[in-house]
Structure 1
């Protein structure tokens, strides 16, 4: 046992370590690598499309909530002036919602038109912080 080593009762011969493939087909290996890269890019593209759709749906939800909040603010301002909006009266009396919806739609359309004529809509570019992302916290002003 002069050239071989003993590890845990097993004899290892010097020289070849591990299993080596007979001949590697370099063209086939390169093609597999290219195919894998194509698949990776396709998965990445799908992932980003999904995330963009998710962000846009969240932004739509945020806009809807902002509009609802604005409506509630208008109701509060009207109640501060001593006026009770018909929508609140309907909610308190249990009136049919379809009638209330028609009245509130006319009022909110007028309020929205006035508000949109006088102000810009602010949109947060990045909704959550990303490490080192340059646009975090930036705000874009867009006319609606």
Structure 2
């Protein structure tokens, strides 16, 4: 029993477990490796393209929000001076056709759509 080992009450036989290594052609193995590397580079390239598009879309959104913020700052400074901007007058009178499209008007229309669908209408 010198050659065999006792593990958890079982006798282990010496030798290798699992599959025996097959005689793989070295050229085939190298070609598979090259193909795998090509596929990896292609996946990496697609991933970077996706991330670059994502970054550029976020940058565009940031620019649009900055412009909107600047517009609101101008409105506030005008109101501090006692002037009411025409856009706010149009908003207060309910004439939304004169209003430039901004994030607040789209949120209002989305909320209206949600209210209609939650009431069971529409």
Q: Please report the TM-score for the alignment, with normalisation by the length of structure 2.
A: 0.71
**Cα distance 1:66–1:2, how it changes in 2: closer, same or farther (>3 A)?**
closer
Q: Which residue of 1 aligns with 2:99?
A: 100
Gaps of 5+ in 1: 102-144
Q: Are the equivalent residues in 1 in contact too, given 2:90–2:99 (CA < 8 A)?
A: yes
Work out which structure has the larger RCO, using CA pairs closer than 8 Å and 6 or more positions apart in sequence.
Answer: 1
* SS of equivalent to 1:17: coil
Q: Please report the TM-score for the alignment, with normalisation by the length of structure 1.
A: 0.61
* SS of equivalent to 1:82: coil
Indicate the structure with greater strand content.
1
CA RMSD in angstroms comes to 1.7
Alignment of 1:7-18 (within 5 A): 7=7, 8-13=9-14, 16-18=15-17
Indicate the structure with greater helix content.
2
> How many correspondences in the alignment?
98
**Cα distance 1:80–1:25, how it changes in 2: closer, same or farther (>3 A)?**
same
Q: What is the alpha-carbon distance in structure 2 between the residues aligned to residue 21 and residue 79 of structure 1?
A: 81
- 1:20-43 CA distance string (max 9 Å, x none): 224122111111111111111111
Q: Which residue of 1 aligns with 2:59?
A: 59
Q: Which residue of 2 aligns with 1:33?
A: 33
**Cα distance 1:88–1:17, how it changes in 2: closer, same or farther (>3 A)?**
same
